[in-house]
Structure 1
């Protein structure tokens, strides 16, 4: 049974997952209990990001038991950002809540997150796991540094950018594209898309009950690279010539002025050579770099103006989704 498309559904809950067969039945039962107590009309969208265990079989069973549970399965592992992006495409609810499938996010937070969007008018609310049960050395300290850096660069006053428990107005998730590993920076994406009312809510962080973490140390290195990417793309993604063209022009101008000075010196001092002087090669290199940067900006403009829409991911199966 498929849920008909409607603009009156209260809530969409998006759960990306990878090898979480043990936690899914308990998580979905908990979510159903909470939303039924508050009489929300809802859907639960489970996105299987290429699991190698029996997660998809569990999802199929859950969908048979509750038609409001819907499933998407990727052909292979694409990452959390890809899973969220496909989930955002499919949502129908007026309020969208994302949470992880590992039971460290509490479904009891759903009503509070819902009210901040539906009643208080926020565009987006990010959860803040103020008290964490992760290993302090490997997760807490790097996470605090990461959040501090992101807060300073993005000017968004959040304490926990990477918390998987977030809520959004539907129009927010329909206006942003989450790709690569940009799930860490959804608040930044939302801000650059024009949504300014972004807040946070202290949420419960629970100890992991099943399975093991899917993230390692490389996520912190990738995180800062992604932040640099998103700040550049947000500012210059549609006008790369303004970045590369400006720098290229500066390099070319410096090299050209140096060449002119050298030529004038050669004219005024006939015995002075050009090819045996280091400034000649420095100025020539500067002009070449300037031309290359300028052409990079030109090509970037052509690509940006002819770029296709959202990324396409190879989806193997869907349940209850058009």
Structure 2
């Protein structure tokens, strides 16, 4: 099969018939073999009933329904597991992503041998309350990941099948799939300017909390990707640094007092100096960080996936 289109959705019953008909038209015009996987993330409207009706009209349409709302990342992860196509396209169900972009995305994945193409909605129809925070997060993600993409959060993306069968998406991490893919060893990542259409039906399902959750997930991805198999390098380094900084400060206070005594000058008791208490805090925090790293290292060494590594090719 050439293409799998994964569409996560929540309360989008009005847009589904138009979206699937549009995708079918594009696939027929380009002679693609395809499947459309609609993942209903616990909708409370008629979305699942519409999916069942569409399935009767087009056997290329497949549906997955959650018992409750788990979020877009969960919907994508389950959709990825069900795909059979060589190239996987993801898009939102609200008709803001254009299926007309699919042929070019497919061509570039195949001809340029890319792992992932992320859409860039260069001209957006979203309000400033959504676009300004998005720009800030994109800038932060570029800085932390080293991936030069302008729009990490665009729902329209294309993947080689190997990529989505390897990575795991959870929490709010769907917006950071390029980062997850890079940490998994898929570094051939490109960007493509795509059309952003104004929402035709319903209202947006995302609130301001997604930006807070997204930032926390970015930190999580960065930490796990870099130190997941060697947590002692992170906690131990910070612990040793804090411990020796506190030790140096405490020695300074003690030596200063002793020098003043030798010279017969007035001095303050060590316990009367704020620097002494700061040094104690630094020593205690350093010890705790070191112990945290030691415990994390023990857990990591006993984890069942401790020696699981992604192998691209093997000759025997």
What is the rounded CA distance, in whole Å, between the counterparts of 1:131 and 1:204 in structure 2?
7
Question: Which of 265, 282, 295 is equivalent to 1:299?
Answer: 295
Question: Which of 212, 229, 234 is equivalent to 1:221?
Answer: 212
User: What do the CA deviations read for 1:77-122 (whole angstroms, capped 9, x no partner)?
Assistant: 1111111111111211110000000011111111111111112211
TM-score between the two structures when normalised by the length of structure 2? 0.87
User: What do the CA deviations read for 1:35-58 (whole angstroms, capped 9, x no partner)?
Assistant: 122121111111111111111121
SS at match of 1:110: helix
Deviation at 1:261, TM superposition (A): 5.4
Residue 98 (structure 2) aligns with: 106
Question: Which of 136, 160, 164 is equivalent to 1:169?
Answer: 160
Q: Which moved more, 1:223-232 or 1:14-23?
A: 223-232
Deviation at 1:141, TM superposition (A): 2.8
Q: Which moved more, 1:120-129 or 1:217-226?
A: 217-226
Structure 1 unaligned blocks of 5 or more = 1-8, 310-322
SS at match of 1:47: strand
Aligned: 1:149 with 2:145: no
What is the rounded CA distance, in whole Å, between the counterparts of 2:189 and 2:7 in structure 1?
21
Residue 174 (structure 2) aligns with: 183
Larger RCO, structure (CA 8 Å, separation 6 or more): 1
Residue 58 (structure 1) aligns with: 50
Deviation at 1:277, TM superposition (A): 4.7
What is the rounded CA distance, in whole Å, between the counterparts of 1:217 and 1:254 in structure 2?
40
Q: Which moved more, 1:37-46 or 1:278-287?
A: 278-287
What is the rounded CA distance, in whole Å, between the counterparts of 1:126 and 1:226 in structure 2?
19
Deviation at 1:148, TM superposition (A): 2.7
Deviation at 1:162, TM superposition (A): 0.7
The number of equivalent residue pairs is 300
User: What do the CA deviations read for 1:222-273 (whole angstroms, capped 9, x no partner)?
Assistant: 3333222222221112211111111111122233344455666788859986
Q: Give the root-mean-square deviation of aligned CA atoms.
A: 2.3
Residue 86 (structure 2) aligns with: 94
